[in-house]
Amino acid sequence: MSNLFEISNDVQKAIDLKKPIVALESTLISHGLPYPDNIKVAKESIKAIEDNGSVAATIGIINGKVKIGLNEDDINILAKDHNVQKVSNHNINLSIFKKENAATTVASTISIASIFGIKFFVTGGIGGVHLNAKNTYDVSADLYSLSEHTNYVICSGAKSILDLNKTYELLETLGITRLGYKTDHMPGFWFSETKHQVDNNFESISDISNFLKLNSKLNHKKSILIFNKVPEINAISEDKINEWINGALLKAEKNKINGKELTPFLIKEINNSSNNKTLTANVSLIINNADLAGKIAKNFYT
């Protein structure tokens, strides 16, 4: 590979030996969670994956270099530096060109993971159709990236701040399979369940991995979502969340926040109005998803 990419030794070894690898995004470190919770999540997610016998590959950009397998220093930079760009598929090339520090979203992380044949990816919640999309046309590139690459994505649905009804429908339109792990319904990120039925609920890790093994033989070039609910003790009621979301949306409108600034702005506002209940839920669901991802990846390769 060209010198635009830098793969850590651990990840390179895992690629060579065909060992299980789980990719992680870095936008949630730089723009999704406040310091120091972001460092804690980054480290504990890696640990959860590794404790299950898989290799973690956090992806991000340091001084214009695309790194697959960020080390502790890299994570510190992305967690603390206030000038880190948020890069999706439309602007990742520019951050590389300008030699910036940049955090990759779900969309750009799976694009990079795919170049190196990394099949598994874990996050908290994917992006989707924004609530006011009818007027703004703001639909996350995550959805389109998921339909262009074959990644197995462990997540708690799409973020609660989105229009989850439209997101669910667009996932179907784009050919992205929506699986539940021990759930019949797509989760709502900070809350446990939306009204939307998953395409199939698998009750065990080995059933999921058997299905993914079959899927890999189909030459079906679409991603698959594996939904894992927020741990029950940290789940919040949908009504409470909607109250906070409405307040945050009004504030965003007043301050003319839009585009890629919108998601981080809303999350910050809601963490404030919920007294960090949403932050606690966010932290716990990501680490819980990493644990599940480590287990599924390990099972898939054995």
Residues that bind ligand PSU (CB under 6 A): 25, 27-28, 31-32, 88, 105-107, 123-125, 127, 140-142, 159, 260, 263, 282
* Alpha carbon distance 26, 86 (integer Å): 9
Please count the other Cβ atoms lying within 10 Å of the Cβ belonging to residue 65.
Answer: 15
166 is a catalytic site residue: no
The one of Mn ion, ligand PSU, none whose footprint includes residue 106, by CB under 5 to 8 A per kind, is ligand PSU
Residue 293 binds which of Mn ion, ligand PSU, none (CB < 5-8 A, kind-dependent): none
Closer to ligand PSU by CB, 127 or 187: give it: 127
Judge whether 35 and 119 are in contact, CB under 8 Å: no
Please spell the DSSP secondary structure of 246-257, one letter per residue: HHHHHHHHHTT-
Judge contact between 10 and 243, C-beta under 8 A: no
* CB contact at 8 A, 71 and 43: no
Specify the residue, 229 or 298, whose C-beta has the smaller distance to ligand PSU.
Answer: 229
Quick one: 15 or 39, whose CB is closer to ligand PSU?
A: 39
Minimum distance from residue 260 beta carbon to ligand PSU (Å): 4
Nearest approach, Cβ of 88 to ligand PSU (angstroms)?
A: 6
For residues 84-143, which are near Mn ion according to CB under 5 A? 138
With tokens 């890299």, the residue in question is 74
Burial class (CB in 10 A: 0-12, 13-18, 19+), 64: middle
Task: Output the six-digit token pair for 114.
Answer: 């795919």
Residue 8 Cβ vs ligand PSU, minimum distance, rounded to whole Å: 21
Q: How many angstroms separate the CA atoms of 180 and 157, rounded? A: 10
Query: How is residue 10 annotated by DSSP?
Result: H
Catalytically annotated residue among 86, 119, 159, 260: 159
Token output for 150: 């074959």
Select 54 or 160, whichever has its Cβ closest to ligand PSU.
160
Q: Is 172 a catalytic residue?
A: no
- Of 25, 67, 193, 269, the catalytic one is 25
25 part of the interface to Mn ion, by CB under 5 A: no
Residues labelled as active-site residues? 25, 159
Which residues are near Mn ion by CB under 5 A? 138
